[in-house]
Structure 1
Amino acid sequence: MSRTMSGLVPLLLAGLALLGACSSTDKPKPTPLESVTPQIAGRQVWSARLDGVQFPLQVVAREGTFVVASTGGTVAAFDAQSGREAWRGEAGSRLSAGVGSDGRFAAVVTQNNDLVVLERGRKSWTAQLSSRTTTSPLVAGERVFVMGVDRVVHAFDALDGRRLWTYRRAGEPLTLAQPGVLGVYKDTLLVGQGASLVGLDPLKGTLRWDVPITSPRGTNEVERLNDLVAPLLRVGDMVCARAFQNAVGCVAANTTSLRWSRLGGGQQGIGGDADLVFGADASDRVTAWKAASGDTAWNNERLLHRGLSAPLSTGRTVVFGDAEGQVHFLSRDDGKTLLRLPTDGSAVVAAPVLSGTTVLVVTRNGGLFAFRPE
């Protein structure tokens, strides 16, 4: 068994054992919610429901619609403004990863390792993958890019499903079962390979550049796991990511150089804007870093152990969901709570996503809740 395939063991540890306390009876109790006097207006504007989300969902906002998927294999698009269902399709099997979409094509991966591509709800084609997949596919430029838990990247033609190329990084160590990084910067495909942000030629699958976000730490391979985890933050030429349980860093993609890196243990990805980068650590301590320097702008410890999602930065707020379905709107300037809105009581399973002025939150029970802060 190769070391990468033995990553199916710490795959393990990726999403489970390494999170230790997550299944322990000694897990700290969530910090009680403080009373909040709303400082901004905001309300739920529509809701919908799928059959539950038990996998690492990525929600896509494209062309005024939200594209979502459920564990049972339903893939659907909803008008962001009204909540009207634009289309719905079925992958035909339970999902392990999804969804990626360019507005026309939507791609998901099943628990049988099948990549399934739908065109506006109609199943277009499928392709068998060689490994389990937890990272949402990326659809761009009439191509579908997929990365397995072994961090091998495949490119397919979105129109007919032809496999175009495969990229395999030599000597990749044990990898996480947690969603990794796939993104785009201009004409370059961005891929997380270990703790490095890698730029690939999307037409050929060849390496253009490789910038480490951090260096491995720990005394054994499990402790040294530091894969980049989704979601990725891109603002202009700045691309930022979290290395699992290790650091947060930003790369200047135009010069392919590391801008800054700061220690910051956590399992969830990050969000931000041109001025600030936001994220929560393993204890759910929220930190804002200055995007230019990496210096700390503020910390918030009022949401400790609440199981925070990755954040969304929008307007004057940064938005987190938590494990009890609460949605927290914090001030981007100092981290104080401006507004809190409920969902259905089950965990928020993905970073909140913005389309226009509408923020969508998806819960473990399959609830879709659209909010409009004002």
Structure 2
Amino acid sequence: MMLNLAALKKGHEGLNKGFLTAVMSLALLGLAGCSSDGEEAVEPAPLPDFTAEVTIKEVWSHGVGSGQGDSWLHLTPVVEGDRIYTAGASGQVTALDRTSGKEIWAVELDRRISGGAGIGEDLALVATRDGHVIALNAADGSKLWETPVSSESLSAPQVANGVVVVQTIDSKITGLDAKTGKPLWIQETLQPVLTLRGTSTPLVSRGVVFAGFANGEARAFRADNGSLLWDAKVAVPRGSSELERMVDVEATPLISDDLLYMVSYQGNVVAIDPASGRVLWAREASSYESMSEGFGNLYLTDAESFVSGVDQRTGSVVWTQKDLKNRGLSGPETSGSQVVAGDFEGYLHALSQVDGRIVGRTKVDSSGIRVKPLVVDDMIYVYTNDGYLFALTIQSK
């Protein structure tokens, strides 16, 4: 069973913690629960005061479809060359000039999209709610092929070295021929009884596929034939209930300076040797958002919307910003000397990479910002929940 824990925690002001726990526990039995009085409520922190050190300015914006939809999707924009590609939950796929925001092409698929967009080798890739992968020509949006996979995918298909890699919610990962869509290989892991609703986006690097799974494992596969190279533990399930034992790895793996970094819910953030799978260090953490790096740190948003900087070499926490607690922060991304993240009310927050202090903020869109901002060169791309893509810049005051 999959739980939309992020939606429960982020989407309801005044939600009672006892009620949240009861609902998630009783979900195992298909029941509903009720809260007890006197419990601490999960409420978003008010917007904190700060001294503005930067200004965030809009360069352009463009509507690109239905956005994230109502299923707590994480459809993410992706850049290749001078174009930025987006996918919308109702079936829209769009290519824009990333500098001007001018539309290059847009297609309406007669399918609901659950994962995307992926880009590479002249393909624009999406996954559908009914368990298919669709490849479009990245130049003009024309459809090239469509292939069924084992289940729904909630992450963007990835492509490299002639292989499209897609991870599905049944804890399987599949390699498809990039030219034809023909299945090449499939691998699977043991799936826990209870998982978060989401999947990690595989990372393909140097002919190897790195992926995290709902059972807390990291695995590496050969991209050409799917053979397993190694497996490692990001987190080990602990506790007496299935709820307590959830250790999903939903964040996209990150490679920096020849080390692989992964993080799990109710588990750890870890550094792994990508060649051997040996865990070099582990630090307790709980996150389902993808990380970023800069200034020798990893940056992560935890399940309470605390943002932390973690030393990449040792795993030591350098700083933690707690003033945005429970504001449903997206994953963080670096831009210049700042870390940027969106929240459930549509604010984009800028933090200092040095100490995590808030240095800037702007209201982008009232529908909220669920997905991690995308930063390319000096441009910040923010894809809002209702389907608007914004290009922004940060300037020092």
TM-score by length of 2: 0.86
Give the partner amino acid of 2:15.
Answer: T
1:72 matches 2:90 = yes
In 1, distance between residues paired with 2:10 and 2:321? Answer: 23
Note the C-alpha offset of 1:22.
Answer: 5.0
- Counterpart in 1 of 2:186? 166
Note the C-alpha offset of 1:140.
Answer: 1.8
Q: 1:44-63 counterparts in 2 under 5 A?
A: 44-52=58-66, 53-54=68-69, 55-63=73-81
Further displaced range: 363-372 or 138-147? 138-147
Note the C-alpha offset of 1:202.
Answer: 0.5
- Counterpart in 1 of 2:172? 152
In 1, distance between residues paired with 2:258 and 2:61? Answer: 35
8 Å Cα contact 2:48/2:324 also seen in 1? no
8 Å Cα contact 1:59/1:68 also seen in 2? yes
* Aligned pair partner of 2:323 in 274, 289, 302: 302
1:112 matches 2:136 = no
- Counterpart in 1 of 2:28? none
In 1, distance between residues paired with 2:48 and 2:280? Answer: 37
Give the partner amino acid of 2:192.
Answer: P
In 1, distance between residues paired with 2:203 and 2:49? Answer: 38
Q: Provide closer, same or farther for how the CA distance between residues 216 and 274 of structure 1 changes in structure 2, counting only shifts above 3 A.
A: farther
1:316 matches 2:316 = no
In 2, distance between residues paired with 1:287 and 1:323? Answer: 19
* Aligned pair partner of 2:115 in 87, 97, 118: 97
In 1, distance between residues paired with 2:110 and 2:59? Answer: 31
Give the partner amino acid of 1:126.
Answer: E
8 Å Cα contact 1:235/1:273 also seen in 2? no
Q: Secondary structure at the match of 1:293?
A: coil
Q: Secondary structure at the match of 1:298?
A: strand
In 2, distance between residues paired with 1:292 and 1:35? Answer: 33
1:12 matches 2:6 = no
1:266 matches 2:280 = no
Q: Provide closer, same or farther for how the CA distance between residues 133 and 14 of structure 1 changes in structure 2, counting only shifts above 3 A.
A: farther
8 Å Cα contact 1:94/1:111 also seen in 2? yes
In 2, distance between residues paired with 1:187 and 1:274? Answer: 28
In 1, distance between residues paired with 2:387 and 2:201? Answer: 24
- Counterpart in 1 of 2:38? none
In 2, distance between residues paired with 1:213 and 1:274? Answer: 24
- Counterpart in 2 of 1:3? none
Note the C-alpha offset of 1:181.
Answer: 3.5
* Aligned pair partner of 1:32 in 40, 46, 49: 46
8 Å Cα contact 1:73/1:95 also seen in 2? yes
- Counterpart in 2 of 1:277? 298
8 Å Cα contact 1:231/1:271 also seen in 2? no
Note the C-alpha offset of 1:40.
Answer: 2.2
Further displaced range: 269-278 or 121-130? 269-278
8 Å Cα contact 1:237/1:254 also seen in 2? no
Name segments (4+ residues, structure 1) moved above 4 Å: 13-17, 19-24
Q: Secondary structure at the match of 1:221?
A: coil
8 Å Cα contact 1:231/1:310 also seen in 2? no
Give the partner amino acid of 2:204.
Answer: V
Q: 1:216-235 counterparts in 2 under 5 A?
A: 216-235=237-256
Note the C-alpha offset of 1:255.
Answer: 4.3
In 1, distance between residues paired with 2:142 and 2:107? Answer: 6
1:198-237, Cα deviation, whole Å (9 max, x unpaired): 1100011100111212222221333212121123322131
Q: Provide closer, same or farther for how the CA distance between residues 356 and 187 of structure 1 changes in structure 2, counting only shifts above 3 A.
A: same
Q: Provide closer, same or farther for how the CA distance between residues 299 and 16 of structure 1 changes in structure 2, counting only shifts above 3 A.
A: closer
* Aligned pair partner of 1:88 in 106, 112, 130: 106
Q: Provide closer, same or farther for how the CA distance between residues 22 and 249 of structure 1 changes in structure 2, counting only shifts above 3 A.
A: farther
1:327 matches 2:344 = no
In 2, distance between residues paired with 1:110 and 1:23? Answer: 31
Give the partner amino acid of 1:34.
Answer: P
Note the C-alpha offset of 1:188.
Answer: 0.7
Give the partner amino acid of 1:224.
Answer: R
In 1, distance between residues paired with 2:188 and 2:307? Answer: 35
Note the C-alpha offset of 1:274.
Answer: 6.0
Which segments of 5 or more consecutive residues in structure 2 lack a partner in the other structure? Answer: 17-40
In 2, distance between residues paired with 1:23 and 1:148? Answer: 31
In 2, distance between residues paired with 1:21 and 1:59? Answer: 22
Q: Secondary structure at the match of 2:3?
A: helix
In 1, distance between residues paired with 2:82 and 2:121? Answer: 9
Note the C-alpha offset of 1:20.
Answer: 9.4
Q: Provide closer, same or farther for how the CA distance between residues 277 and 93 of structure 1 changes in structure 2, counting only shifts above 3 A.
A: same
- Counterpart in 1 of 2:258? 237
Further displaced range: 44-53 or 252-261? 252-261
Note the C-alpha offset of 1:340.
Answer: 0.8
1:55-96, Cα deviation, whole Å (9 max, x unpaired): 221221222322111011111122222212232223321111
In 1, distance between residues paired with 2:252 and 2:14? Answer: 26
1:246-290, Cα deviation, whole Å (9 max, x unpaired): 221221214432121111123322222361011122221111111
1:42 matches 2:56 = yes
Q: Secondary structure at the match of 2:196?
A: coil
